[in-house]
Structure 1
Amino acid sequence: MNGKVIPGTPIAVDFWKIRECPNARLFFLTHLHGDHTVGLSSSWQHKIYCSEIIGNLLEEQYEIDPSQVCPLETGCSHIMYIDTDQIEQMTVTVIDAHHCPGSVMFLFEGYFGKVLYSGDFRFDSNMKDDPLIENLSGTDVVYLDNTYNSPRCVFPSREESQRIILEIIHSHEEFSVKIGLRNLGKEDLLVTIAQDLQEWIKVSPAFFQVAEILDLPDVFITGETDARIEVVPFYSISNKNIERWNKEHPTIAILPTSLYTGLEMSPFCNQDNVFIVPYSDHSSFDELTDFIKLVKPRSVYPIINDMTRGPFGISISDRADVSVFKPYLSSPRKKNPEIPDSVKRWMFGNRTLPPSRPLNKKPLALKRKRSLQSLKRGVHFDDSMEDFSEEKTKKKKILNNKGGDDKKSGPEDKCVPTACGQNVGQTSDKENSKGENSKNSSRKDITNPKKNKVEKLKVKFSWRSESERRSETSSEHVQEYERHEASSNMECVREQGEKEIERENSPQGKKHSLKNFLMYVLDTDIPEIRHGK
């Protein structure tokens, strides 16, 4: 895309990617070649300032809303506001670029100084006497067409190229002639050929429509009518097509282009029936130098960047180097102009530009977030079990020491859980005497009805340090206790199961589904029976 947004202004020229220029408000179009209209379509919703010819083509070819087309007369200066408050003004001078039908250069003059956007143009000696060109002297910035900005890019004038083409056609009177052209441009060349040879030139329906819009002389035909001279798409000139055409009738092909000028290779160099004539609508290197000498700007910027590739992918980055014009430039400005407040309001609206600050912390997106899967599930044998308990009450401390005093476990002790509110390995007589009471209490607390669901067995754990358990128990007491505990727990579970069966057989209990009963069984923690040695 060969377009620019002029810094410090709301002006964009041949730039149609609206998301990349949010501060642009005034859009200008130099001409309708494809590389200058990237992003422009029938859905465009902003005013487009262009020449009258380009305005007609926009409405007919691109179907742009006529209310969005603002044609400017070529060869005149126009005054327009560059803010919504109608305080700041600028002058826009429209100059014929001599590139293709309707192509123009724009000279902007305002608070930002004097800026010339050349677009694609062909400079010749006849333009030196134009008063508008003379007014370009002292320009601050020039955006230059650098298509052939290389000392190797040397080619004749268009008049000389026309003469060469006419000689080729005259020397092949018995041959059909195929002229390869792009969509728009070189219409003047075709008119000259038709008038000189007094022959019709066959074109495509689209080209014929453009010729009618441009009001060209009546020298073109279209449709099924045959003609010796025919305009074909540029890319259709190939060895395969030339061979096919010559099987039907002797044919020659002409490519009026300077596209391969300055390169070390050229296509069709071994073809006798293909002629490449350096007819160009761009300025040669010498013509660009003459233009810069005449204008003497303070600075020059290339329109085509150094990333652009030439034919066959050949790098032409050296053509973006405009330092060769440095000897012809005027002294640079000491200070860049400030943007008026009214223009800022139009460009930025309510948005303010925050001052740039270094990034002192990581972006939020890079912060490590806690995963939802990191929560512990199931039974965990550590001191944090209270965090996962559903009850808010403190756990009961049972299984006192041999002297009857409650023993508190410190955080440094290693704790082991036991089922149904008992600790494994207790040997005191008090505990044996309290066996029946603890069994009854466990029966009372073993279920917890909630929201009309089947009562579920909750297993509570009591904790005791492993060091105390080892110091106060013996192997005999452990075996006796385990047998007693297993039998009491099994009796507890058996009684609970009988209650559940009775509840299921009752009319009210039949409402509960088999699924709820399975959930009850699965949620019931049956202690493991360990047999002593």
Structure 2
Amino acid sequence: MASKTTASGRVAKAIMRSPSSKQKCILEFCKQKDDLVEATKEVIILDDDKGDGGKIDDKDNKVNDHLTVIYQRSTITSEIVCPICNKPLDHLTVEERMIHADECLSVVSTLTETIGYTSMKVKREMEIEQDEEGREKKKIKKVSTKTDTPARRPRPRPPIPDHKILQLGEDKVAVDAFCYDSDDSIHIYILTHFHSDHYGGLKKSWNNGSVIIATKITAKLAVHRFKLPAEMFLPLEYDQKVRIPNTAIDVTCIDGNHCPGSGIFILESAKTGERFLHCGDFRINRHMIERLLKWGKFDRIYLDTTYLDPQYSFPKQENVVGAACRVLCEKSQLKQSSQKRVIDFFCRTGGSPPPSEFLVVIGTYSIGKERLAIGIAEKLGTKIYCNKQKAETLKLLEWNDLERVLETNPNKAKDCQVHMISTRGMNKAYLAEYLGQYSREYKAVVGINATGWTFQYNEANTQLGSSSKGGFESPNEFLNRFVDPIQELQIYNTLKKQFQFRNKQEREKDFFLSKILRVPYSEHSSFRELFYFVNLLPSDQIIPTVNLNRNDENMRWINMFKGYKGDLDLNRL
């Protein structure tokens, strides 16, 4: 018996002396026998209100209320503590020690899973503090591990390209150059019109220049959108000559026929006598050329060459509007489908009219394409619906013809057969979803995708074509093809074909749900119009401003226009 007691005492002493032995085997302390050795009677306090951890004689009749755990033993062989929490376990049986060990192990595994991951941004440290009553309180302290790295520098902006800088003597003016790096020698800027590819870079904090020249409407749109101070703008009325402050330059703006508020700008230097014309984005017409001819010869013309390609000799705007209205009116009046939908039998309540054949949805930019929408709405005898956000912009245009047919009340949208939406919605899936809102009033939806890219002139070729007499055409013979405009009847036949059913299923059902009509309506000048413009307007130098990656091709056509030997009549433009 004594040997056993001695062995167990040696094990207990080894456990107390070697901290590492606590981690050898948890079952070591669980299997020891409860052999008693006489000892003085004591009470061990693990935590008291003073935190001194002393011993209290058992003669004390009062026990502090704040004692958390009191272990009382009359006899011990040696002190056995839990290797996890370091609590004495001598008073527990073997089974109780096993339970205690399992509980401690489960707590440790849980803590490991919970706080084992440390964020790369925030490091959590455990601190033990005492509250006002002396009780230990665990507190997690967040310590940032971020290093003080310098802020990422914004990517440097490129310098203003040469074709956007107009220099007349010592004075410089930058045109549509708001997204480029500032130039200390330039303080005057021109905004030709309010399209994003021209006002890009303009924002409330923009301060590269002191004055922005624009038409009255464009200035209002910029102030409204970017909250810029109105004092920053020099607003121009059409055909009004104004001296630019602190320069010797007089500027005059003429209607650019592109979008509301667009302009082409004539700059004249009182010192050098130079006269420049910057076209921005524009759509040439007879009235514009007649007015420019009164100015005489230009030293430089900065030309919008977006469609300087013979494939894009699309029709005049008025002819396109006329043909589109004719097709839509015919298709709206004729019976498009003989098949009735299930919803038609349930929606005909009271004296409600039957559903119309189709809803016309026109894809538009923030501004632009309004003339096409007005023309179609007037022919169909309906109003134009757009959301309130777009309507706020359109009201700044001060366009009486547009305001007269514009409807912004969503409750009345169903009564408007023409709607204006963003060009991003010009796909069949979106249009079919859009129609769902008005399926009681309309059977189908027709989207109008109005752009010059949708029309190609079949008789044109970028290379000089073969002559019917053999050999190749001369430049004059080739350009003769573009003297006369495309007739409205040709446009009508092209649009009418697009209304044909596109597959066998539609033909069998005599019905389509959504269709996109590609209308050759553009607000840029066509190849034919550029031909007239360059040939009739005298100038020393013409500088292309678009498609500069193929500038050699641009100059080839410009030189060919200038060298044309035939007679061009403005009345045929």
What is the TM-score when the length of structure 2 is the normalising length? 0.50
Between the aligned partners of 1:207 and 1:57, the Cα distance in structure 2 is 12
Q: After TM superposition, give the deviation of residue 328 of structure 1 in Å.
A: 5.4
Aligned to 1:113: 274
Write the letter of the residue equivalent to 1:41.
Answer: K
Q: How far 1:277 moved relative to its partner?
A: 0.7
Equivalent pair of 1:162/1:189 in contact (CA under 8 Å):
yes
Change (3 A) 1:71 1:246: closer
Q: 1:319–1:202: structure 2 CA closer, same or farther, 3 Å change rule?
A: farther
Write the distance in 1 (CA, Å) between the matches of 2:287 and 2:245.
33
Deviations 1:217-252 (A, max 9, x none): 321112422232211111111132244456643111
Residue in 1 that maps onto 2:446: 252
Aligned 8 A contact 2:454 2:519 in 1: no
Partner of 2:407: 221
Q: Would the alpha carbon gap of residues 25 and 318 (structure 1) be closer, same or farther in structure 2, given more than 3 Å must change?
A: closer
| TM-superposed deviation, 1:166 | 0.9
User: Is the 2:194–2:218 Cα contact (8 Å) retained in structure 1?
Assistant: yes
1:71-470 aligned within 5 A: 71-83=235-247, 89-110=248-269, 111=272, 113-130=274-291, 133-173=292-332, 174-216=357-399, 217-225=403-411, 226=413, 227-245=416-434, 248=439, 249-262=443-456, 273-307=515-549, 317=550, 321-327=554-560
Contact 1:302 1:320 in 2 (8 A): no
| Residues 304 and 320 in structure 1, CA contact (< 8 A), matched pair in contact too | no
For the pair 1:22 / 2:152, whether they are aligned, the reply is no
Q: Does structure 1 conserve the Cα–Cα contact (< 8 Å) formed by 2:303 and 2:543? A: yes
Q: Compared with structure 1, are the counterparts of its residues 109 and 35 closer, same or farther at alpha carbon in structure 2 (3 Å cutoff)? A: same
Query: How far, CA to CA, are the matches of 1:284 and 1:82 in structure 2?
Result: 38
Deviation at 1:7, TM superposition (A): 4.5
Counterpart in the other structure of 2:151: none
User: 2 CA distance for matches of 1:7 and 1:319?
Assistant: 24
Give secondary structure in 2 for the equivalent of 1:290: helix
TM-fit CA distance, 1:82: 4.5
Q: Deviations over 1:50-71 (max 9, x none)?
A: 1111122122222211111110
Residue identity (%): 25
1:115-168 CA deviation, whole Å, 9 max, x = no partner? 1100111111233332xx123431111110001001111111110111122123
Q: Secondary structure at the match of 2:371?
A: helix
Please state whether the residue corresponding to 2:250 is helix, strand or coil: strand
In structure 2, do the counterparts of structure 1 residues 165 and 328 end up closer, same or farther at CA, with 3 Å as the change threshold? closer
Aligned in 2, Cα 1:294/1:136: closer, same or farther, shift over 3 Å?
A: farther
Q: Give the direction of change, closer, same or farther, for the CA distance of 1:142–1:192 in structure 2 (3 Å limit).
A: same
Distance, in Å, in 2 between the alignment partners of 1:281 and 1:109 is 27
State the Cα distance separating 1:215 from its structure 2 match: 2.3
* Count of matched residue positions in the alignment of Structure 1 and Structure 2: 312
TM superposition shift of 1:81: 4.7
Secondary structure at the aligned position of 2:363 is classed as: strand
SS at match of 2:548: coil
Answer whether contact 1:121 1:281 (CA < 8 A) is retained.
yes
Cα distance in 2, alignment partners of residues 243 and 325 from structure 1: 45
Note if contact 1:147-1:319 (Cα within 8 Å) is conserved in structure 2: no
Summarize the alignment of residues 4-19 of structure 1 with structure 2, pairs less than 5 Å apart. Answer: 4-7=164-167, 9-17=171-179, 19=181
**8 Å contact kept, 1:149–1:319:** no
Distance 1:319 1:206, change over 3 A: farther
- State the AA in 2 paired with 1:25: H
Q: Find the aligned partners of 1:288 and 1:319 in 2 and give their Cα distance.
A: 17
CA contact (8 A) 2:362 2:373 kept: no
Structure with the bigger percentage of strand: 2
Tell me the amino acid that sits aligned with residue 327 of structure 2: I
Distance 1:253 1:318, change over 3 A: farther
**Scaled by the length of structure 1, what TM-score is found?**
0.54
Unaligned 5+ runs, structure 1? 84-88, 308-316, 331-533
Q: What is the match of residue 26 of structure 2?
A: none
Rounded to whole Å, the distance in 1 between the matches of 2:220 and 2:435 is: 39
Which residue does 1:424 correspond to in 2?
none
Partner SS, residue 108 of structure 1: strand
CA RMSD of aligned residues (A): 2.8
1:319/1:62 CA distance change after superposition, 3 Å: farther
Return closer, same or farther for 1:245/1:168 CA change in 2, 3 Å cut-off.
farther
- Distance in 2, matches of 1:202 and 1:274, equals 19
Q: Secondary structure at the match of 1:75?
A: coil
Relative to structure 1, the CA distance from residue 15 to residue 112 in structure 2 (aligned partners, 3 Å threshold; closer, same or farther) is farther
Query: Offset of 1:329 from its aligned partner?
Result: 5.3
Shift of 1:26: 0.9
Query: Aligned partners of 1:22 and 1:323: how far apart in 2?
Result: 36
Equivalent pair of 2:192/2:263 in contact (CA under 8 Å): yes
| Cα distance, 1:80 vs structure 2 | 3.0
Structure-2 change in CA distance of 1:245 and 1:156 (3 Å): same
Once the two structures are TM-superposed, the CA of residue 258 in structure 1 deviates from its matched residue by 1.0
> How far apart are the structure 1 equivalents of 2:366 and 2:517?
20
Give the Cα separation in 2 of the matches to 1:326 and 1:196: 42
CA radius of gyration, larger in: 1
Shift in alpha-carbon separation, 1:167–1:250, aligned structure 2, 3 A:
same
Q: Are the aligned partners of 2:428 and 2:516 in contact in 1 as well (CA < 8 Å)?
A: no
Q: What residue identity is the alignment partner of 2:310?
A: P
Q: Which moved more, 1:156-165 or 1:191-200?
A: 191-200
| Worse-matched range after superposition: 171-180 or 150-159 | 171-180
State the Cα distance separating 1:169 from its structure 2 match: 2.2
Distance in 2 (CA, whole Å) between partners of 1:109 and 1:329 is 24
